[in-house]
Structure 1
Amino acid sequence: MSYSYIDSDILLQPLLAQISSASTLLLDTEFIRVSTYFPKLGLLQLHLNAVDYLIDPLAINSINLLWDAIFSDHRLFVFHSCKEDLDVLQVCAQKLPGRVFDTQVAAAFLGYGASLGYAGLVEKVCDVTVAKDQTLTDWLARPLTAAQKLYAAKDVSYLQYLYDHLSQELNTTGKTEWFNEEMTALLEAKQQAVIPDELFREISGAWQLYPSELAVLRELAKWRYQTAISEDKPQNFIVREEVLADLSRKRPQTERELAQTDISYQQKNRYADAILQCIQKGMECPVELHPARIKRIMDFPHYKHDFKQIKQRVEIAAQDNNLPVELLGSRKLINQYLLWTYEGKSSDVEQPKITSGWRNKLLNL
């Protein structure tokens, strides 16, 4: 198997016209996101005109010309398991595709499994074994070995065949419309802005806190998110979730009191002033602006019974339509629906996914 390694502007230049004129782009990315908030792109793989291209973004100066070519038209982007690849594109190119075909999601609609990996899907559809022996590669290290390059190239080698086969099978089974709807929803979700003042609701243990404590947690969660972005570190590298909850309960007023909480010595030294300011701001929040206590879904009366009833309906519909239960109605989606109903179908609560589109047609809730 051969591939073309693009590690200079001279090699990239003739490829740009091919990219710009392509109606479909078959892509993958290799990146590192271990100790940073944002993913760091190490390699961009592209299958184009029967050739596998490995584009080295660390060696190319005119990287913006590459992004301009990739996003020059409303073309279809084909990935396998695209959510993290879309994150990479959002960060590096500051853009998202207008249309996406995710072969993993397509395979799920066709009964291959809920989250089948690329190698597993290639083996089932193409009857080819793809080695996964380079998964722990540091894609920012140079030089890349021949084995690493070959591994990366194979991640796009079979995308064209998978796309052709799966799109045809979606048409044959009458599921193309369902799939397209799911892809649209995926892209819309990626475009939704984070609301910093609402991040406290996602903190583990937030449901145990009283409104006055939640007012403090709201400030701390917002500060942690903004600090993670500005310092390009994972949020738990700033302060762990359980520490935020502990700080919201104890509400230390001095560095001495802060040292008596679960915060690490290094974090206290670096962030003490900012943390104490957040706590003070939260404590000064007027009572009428305190968040309401967070209700756990399992604390509602009849939750277990209601969940079981919906789950049974999902299982029957999934079996009848050769769909994974996780795709049609996961626990998260069922809980979203039940919370919506318990809250009186309030417009303040996001309308559940299973009450609209293809899921609603199958479940009729």
Structure 2
Amino acid sequence: MPDYLLVDQPDSITENITGHGQLGVDTEFVREKTYFAQLCLVQVSTPEQIYCVDPLTDNSQNKFWLEMLASSWVVHSARQDIEVVLQTAGAMPREIFDTQVAAGLLGFPAQMGYAGLVKELFDVDMAKTHTRADWTRRPLPEAFLQYAAEDVEYLLPAGEALAERLDKESRLDWAKEDSMLLLDPALYEVVGNQAIERLKGARNFRGQKRAAAVRLARWRESEAMRRNRPRQWILRDSVLLDVAYNLPTSENQLASIAGLPSKLAKRIGKQLLDEVAASSGDDDDYQPPKPPDEAQKALLKEMQAQVAACANDLGLAAETVAPKRELSAVIASGTRESRVFSGWRGTLIGEQLMALL
């Protein structure tokens, strides 16, 4: 088991994490009872020490975060870690190297887990017994902290080993490029129609029913963010869809909707009725994505074949070169603003894919 130092005064280790080329970083968080993930532990590894930093402490952490965000991180599957740090500290690190991304560019399975990578690189079996733990508990049990420390114990050695292999294959720049794409702020914004596109069941609505579903979904998203509560706690999907379908115009009509508790109806009924009423004038506000037609399906197959051939030549999974969802998005939108047309992908396969469009 790795040795670690539990830190409840984050600013106290600022000097200890300063001056290193890279820091290994992982986080533990919960989001079952909140809209935004709640950061509960930050694990930081240097070549000399592992720190388990408690961000729930009342002690100052400004200097800690300033140093952390100015550092270069080695992270595995970084997206959720970056998201929770952005929500907590208001910014992202200046640079990351994602070992999951790096492994994929060496021909390891796409989306390879950290434990699997450690096993492949170092023949070490890692315990994964606390992945669903309650990280808000204080004090944290010793078993939790050992698990957390182990999650960063091999990050720096893994990053070094992968970088060495990538350099030999002339792919190190690819890994750096793809890792840095995870620092795009747009990835972490809830914008446009995402609120309604998450709502299954509204796609078949038409006219005002669909417009009402759009408005209600956006209202719920805004309310969930404002109150920092899960969107289902604000209003369940099934009830939201029933309200949109029935288009109530009065409190009595709203009260007749099955599944809407009377207390909840009293608390948010006016907002629901207001959103339904406002929807009468914007029937065409949202058009759901259309399913691909036959020509688009054929084009997708052609593009996938090109990607598969390129990936095979490189010894990579096709998903690593260009996932199906990205190709589908390019076809549906007609946009050329996709990573498949830029960077190393653009050099290797961008022109061939562009020629098919």
Aligned to 1:175: 171
Determine the C-alpha separation between the residues in 1 that align with 2:295 and 2:239: 33
Superposed, which structure 2 residues align to 1:69-218 within 5 Å? 69-71=67-69, 73=70, 75-190=71-186, 193-196=189-192, 199-218=195-214
Aligned to 1:5: 5
Which residue of 295, 298, 303 corresponds with 1:302?
Answer: 295
Does the 8 A contact of 1:258 with 1:268 survive in 2? yes
1:189-210 CA-partner distances (Å, limit 9, x unpaired): 5566433566334432443233
Does the 8 A contact of 1:215 with 1:283 survive in 2? yes
Does the 8 A contact of 1:103 with 1:162 survive in 2? yes
Aligned residues: 350
Superposed, which structure 2 residues align to 1:1-365 within 5 Å? 1-9=1-9, 12-71=10-69, 73=70, 75-190=71-186, 193-196=189-192, 199-261=195-257, 263-265=259-261, 267-285=264-282, 290-291=284-285, 293-298=287-292, 300-340=293-333, 345=334, 351-363=337-349, 364-365=352-353
What's the CA shift for 1:13?
Answer: 4.9
Further displaced range: 167-176 or 322-331: 322-331
Which segments of 5 or more consecutive residues in structure 2 lack a partner in the other structure?
none
Does the 8 A contact of 2:47 with 2:156 survive in 1? no
Does the 8 A contact of 2:43 with 2:148 survive in 1? yes
Determine the C-alpha separation between the residues in 2 that align with 1:357 and 1:244: 43
Q: TM-score, normalised by structure 2?
A: 0.89
Look up the equivalent residue of 2:287 and give its one-letter code: R
Determine the C-alpha separation between the residues in 2 that align with 1:93 and 1:227: 22
Determine the C-alpha separation between the residues in 1 that align with 2:177 and 2:8: 39
Determine the C-alpha separation between the residues in 2 that align with 1:221 and 1:109: 39
> Identity, % of aligned pairs?
29
Does the 8 A contact of 1:45 with 1:153 survive in 2? yes
Which segments of 5 or more consecutive residues in structure 1 lack a partner in the other structure?
none
Look up the equivalent residue of 2:44 and give its one-letter code: L
Determine the C-alpha separation between the residues in 2 that align with 1:248 and 1:20: 54
What's the CA shift for 1:97?
Answer: 1.2
CA gap of 1:13–1:36, structure 2 versus 1, over 3 A, is closer
Look up the equivalent residue of 1:84 and give its one-letter code: Q
1:272-319 CA-partner distances (Å, limit 9, x unpaired): 21111111111144x6xx325324233x23333222222222222222
Further displaced range: 109-118 or 57-66: 57-66
Paired residue secondary structure (1:66) = helix
Paired residue secondary structure (2:316) = coil
What's the CA shift for 1:56?
Answer: 1.7
Q: TM-score, normalised by structure 1?
A: 0.87
Paired residue secondary structure (1:21) = coil
Further displaced range: 76-85 or 58-67: 58-67
Look up the equivalent residue of 2:68 and give its one-letter code: I
Does the 8 A contact of 1:210 with 1:293 survive in 2? no
Determine the C-alpha separation between the residues in 2 that align with 1:282 and 1:22: 55
CA gap of 1:362–1:46, structure 2 versus 1, over 3 A, is same
What's the CA shift for 1:64?
Answer: 2.1
Determine the C-alpha separation between the residues in 2 that align with 1:213 and 1:98: 45
Further displaced range: 354-363 or 129-138: 354-363
Paired residue secondary structure (1:112) = coil
CA gap of 1:261–1:111, structure 2 versus 1, over 3 A, is farther
